[in-house]
Amino acid sequence: MPTKISRAFRDISLSFKKHPITNDLVVLRNENAIKSSVMNLVRTIVGERFFNTRIGTQIEGSYFELQSPELQVQLENEITSTLNNFEPRIRLRQVRVAFPVDTNELEVGVVYDIVGLSIPTQDITFILQPTRV
């Protein structure tokens, strides 16, 4: 399959903040837009989006699971599958899942290249935590 060439990517910020001068919604560009999209896809619960109920992961059910290498591999595979299927603007290199000690959190790391932009490989890390304990 040929690689798509793009010049720029833009998404609206899901914070829905207004631009101070134009009063339009704040726009995320290029790597910030894709970073936001990657994090949103991982945080989305399967079935949460009305028009495509297949988008998302089932990570929220894993916060209180016993930490094991099998669970870690399962979560990494689920994140990899979600990003490969629903974020065509990236070429995924690596997904890491870690369990910080004595917490009910998951630390997720994603390494990827952005298709169509000649910028360095992106490496983002973020924490997923339950909203209620």
DSSP string, 12-66: E-TT-PBPTTT-SBPEEEHHHHHHHHHHHHHHSBTT-STT-TT-SB-GGGGTTSP
Closest CA to 62 of 95, 125, 105: 105
Question: What confidence tens digit (pLDDT) does each residue in 46-105 have?
Answer: 888 788 888 888 887 777 777 888 989 999 999 999 999 999 989 999 999 998 877 778
> pTM above the 0.75 mark?
yes
Taken in order of first residue, the domains within the chain and their CATH numbers are 24-128 (3.10.450.40)
